[in-house]
Chains A and B, each alone.
Chain A
Amino acid sequence: MTGATGRKSTFIRNLDPAVVTAFGCILLLLFLGSLYSRSFLSPEYLLQQLKVASFLGIIATGMMLVILLGQIDLSVPWTVATGAMMACAAAAYGPVGIALAIPFGILCGIGIGLINGVGVAYLRIPSMIVTLATNAVAQGVMVVYTGGFSPQDSATAAMRYLATGALVPGVPNVVFIWALIGAAMVFLLRRTGFGRAVYGIGNRERAAYLSGINTRRIVMIAFAASGGLSALGGVLLAGYASKAAQSMGDAYLLPAIAAVVLGGTSILGGKGSYLGTVAGVILITLLQSILSVTQMPEAGRQIIYGVVIIFMLLLYGRAPASR
């Protein structure tokens, strides 16, 4: 029955309607914000938003990789916290500790990601469960380690510099870090065999396996990368706040998933572009910022936040009709 030959040009195809809509929504939000206050269109405000968005952007990058595989990483909250706490903890061990603080934090995240990856790829446990369990374990370890209080160790100067400093005046370093990671991700997804395999596995793992792709290794690497990126996000957040905190990661799980999905990546895997994720991250950040600037109480912000996400998804995130 399917004799169709798609004649859409590459140009049109690359313009994913979801990404276009997401960018449209960003403009709309900026417009609405500017009605409220002129300062919404000032470079300072926009840069500030970009800086805030960078933390989410780094974490969402890892989440996207996992979602492209048709999986999900629910261990983000405590991977972020573990990365932050372990980096700060390392800083307490003299100059060597200070030097190794950042890599150590990231390594802890990769470790958590590797456990997720082994569970999903080799033990074939649904990712929702494995990552839930590793999140609980990471939380348990951190609670034991900190004694249930926020740790007293503080971030190293390097962490603070990366999160708050500005190598180029006016442009925060963390924005550069996100840009670098983003560029690497785009390259990875579009130009490497790994990227192709990720899309292939996300579409149909069975067919990818029978094509001779080492699907398990790729799934495991993707989870490890997600863990590492979450931990990096945590390290930078700790630098931003000068120290780690118990529940610092909680506020990143749902926004990260929402950003990826609002950017047009299919939650079932196999489809999505990084540009969309960038749009989703900025969109979520702006939304949060506008809601907080309007000094609306937390309750109202939550409600609007949820309603807006549902509304936008209904605009373009729908599955095709069955009949």
Chain B
Amino acid sequence: MESGAPLFRMEGISKRYGGVRALENADLSVRAGAIHAVLGENGAGKSTLIKIMAGVVGPDEGKMTLDGQPVAFASPAAANAAGIACVFQELSLIPELSVADNIVIFNPPTRFGMIDRKAQRHLAEEALARAGASDIHPLALVKDLPLSRQQIVEIAKALARKPRILILDEATSALTAADVSKVFAVLKRLRAEGLALVYISHRMNEIAELADECTVFRNGSKVASYAAGSRSDSEVIEMMIGREYHSVYPPKPGPLAPAEPVLETRNLSWANRLHDISFSLRAGEIVGLGGLDGQGQRDLLLALFGVLRGLRGTVLVDGRATSIGSPAQARRHGIGMALIPEDRKTEGLMLPMTVRDNLSLASLDRLTRGGIIDRAKEESAIDRMMTLLAIKAGNIDAPVGALSGGNQQKVVIAKWLMRQPRIVLLNDPTRGIDVGTKQEIYQLLRRLADEGAAILFYSTDYAELIGCCDRVLVLYDGAVKRELAGAEITERALIASALNIPSADPSHRESIQ
């Protein structure tokens, strides 16, 4: 399957963080004029591998060759000088600087030691055009752009370095469908121009569309490299998780007996982001929020949880109009709401604090008497949660940041389940966690529903919505466009309504803005 000598090769790369092995004897070889997809679960070592490629961290062992010559990168700048550019999953843009400043940041044009703004602007416009985003103004501040546009700027910034190897780490995760198709066109053109591209993504359909070669990683080592299209999806998944891939979703109970809704909204609107949202949620039910990313699903969850100001319309809990002004009110007895937030690292957890402190943080009011923590009560509540969610933590007095992503997410969920909430809002809870933990979370959600909780579940993964939800509300531009129930929830229907097109034809994806 090798055609032509590899441009860049990594052999026997190992990297440890403290006592944790991130990479063990890993190999990768990429060639010019091809797109190489790297697959693997979270924690498989993909991110470490590309961080080493990009000079962000140094390997403990192993060697790298470029054009057959051994190379070592002491810093991102060094890798960059060798022609390797990386678009990271976490944005590496400077928010307070302009788009043009950011694009030329690696090597700004200078005159008399000062940055030549005219030349800089010219370079930036060129790079933006090359990334298919001439509509972005080079003087706009990065922080004022939406996330999706920022990601395009990130790609333009990488291109401005005229790289020979371009690495994209989950580069499409924040993009809208329209932007994704633009980026794909750009990537295909770059491949034709002879660049070597390394593409990391969780989305199988993207890999099928783009990749020429694939390499699968598991537990820090390479499992296999193969030509794209030579393995079936289920074979690939098996390689990734190292075990048979069964149906991961628990069975659905079927239609519920009619009951009064626990949570109901009537004409809920906020700023110009949410428009007249009306829906109801009953006990024992899992309702999904679907649609393209960024159509107001997150805002809706935050609105229900009392975070947004200036809401219009009514929220009813147990049939009574209720106004919720803060998370503190939302979690209160009588409402009993919980929100599993979007970003566990900044919104869900205090990473340096212990697992214990994190678990009890949302229930301090219940675990204290007269303001004083009841240690026995706390201990038993924590024990219950650790068992219920099977959290794998060596020591509950160790910082929660030392846990794996999946276990961290379990801690976030556990800290809210400790309150036994009646209404559970989840904001894309399975993003960036391993398949095994995802499966446990699906089971848990169904069990909670069976025990009488009402669950509102936003996911960017259509398969999850199909597998988990009793009903799905599809949002488009801040409004509910369609409600799907039971057997109506199919990928085709979800995509069609997500794009807000009446005829359910998914191939129209590109044409929709």
Contact = CB atoms under 8 A, between A and B. Distances in A.
Does chain A bind chain B? yes
Interface in A235-252: none
A8 B367 CA distance: 26
Interface string A187-199: 0000111101101
Given A196-B373, A197-B364, A2 B17 contact: yes
A265 to B, nearest CB: 13
B19 interface: yes
A5 B398 contact: yes
A199 B357 contact: yes
Given A3-B20, A3-B404, A270-B350, A193 B398 contact: no
B92 interface: no
Contact of A1 (B47, B353, B361, B395): B47
B349 interface: yes
A10 interface: yes
Listed residue (A6, A197, A213) with the most chain B CB atoms within 10 angstroms of its CB: A6
A252 to B, nearest CB: 30
B361 A211 contact: yes
B287 interface: no
A271 interface: yes
B340 to A, nearest CB: 10
A39 B50 CA distance: 63
A249 to B, nearest CB: 31
B48 interface: yes
Interface in B50-87: 57-58
Contacts of B307: 210
Interface string A287-323: 0000000000000000000000000000000000001
Interface in A1-48: 1-8, 10, 13
B346 A206 contact: yes
A191 B404 CA distance: 29
A163 B372 CA distance: 31
A8 B395 contact: yes
Contacts of A207: 341, 346-350
Contacts of B403: 2-5
Interface in B1-46: 17-20, 22, 43, 45
Interface in B327-367: 327-328, 330-331, 339, 341, 346-353, 357, 360-362, 364-365, 367
B353 A199 contact: yes
A192 B362 contact: no
A191 B373 contact: yes
A152 interface: no
A191 B402 CA distance: 24
A3 B42 CA distance: 11
Contacts of A323: 57-58
A203 interface: yes
A200 B20 contact: no
A206 B307 CA distance: 11
Contact of B371 (A192, A199, A212, A213): A192
Contacts of B373: 191-193, 196
A208 to B, nearest CB: 7
A206 to B, nearest CB: 6
A265 B331 CA distance: 32
Contact of A270 (B305, B352, B360, B368): B352
B413 to A, nearest CB: 13
A210 B327 contact: yes
A208 B45 CA distance: 31
Nearest to B327: A212
A145 interface: no
Contact of A6 (B17, B392, B399, B404): B399
B232 to A, nearest CB: 29
A6 B22 CA distance: 16
Interface in B310-331: 326-328, 330-331
B328 A213 contact: yes
Contacts of A124: none
Contacts of A197: 361, 364
Interface string B395-413: 1011101111100000000
A209 interface: yes
Nearest to A214: B328
B392 A5 contact: yes
B328 A192 contact: no
B371 A209 contact: no
A13 B397 contact: yes
B368 A192 contact: yes
B41 to A, nearest CB: 12
Contacts of B328: 212-214
A196 B360 contact: yes
Nearest to A217: B328
Contact of A211 (B57, B346, B362): B362
B415 interface: yes
Nearest to B357: A196
A236 B360 CA distance: 39
Interface of A: 1-8, 10, 13, 191-194, 196-197, 199-200, 203-204, 206-214, 270-271, 323
Interface of B: 17-20, 22, 43, 45, 47-48, 57-58, 305, 307, 326-328, 330-331, 339, 341, 346-353, 357, 360-362, 364-365, 367-368, 371-373, 392-395, 397-399, 401-405, 415
Given A5-B398, A197-B364, A200-B350, 14 more contacts: A1-B22, A4-B20, A4-B403, A6-B394, A7-B394, A191-B373, A193-B365, A200-B357, A203-B351, A204-B349, A204-B351, A206-B346, A211-B362, A323-B58
9 contacts: A1-B22, A4-B17, A7-B395, A191-B373, A196-B360, A199-B357, A200-B361, A203-B352, A207-B346
List of 8 A-B pairs having minimum Cβ-Cβ separation, nearest first: A5-B394, A6-B398, A203-B350, A193-B364, A212-B331, A211-B362, A193-B368, A4-B402
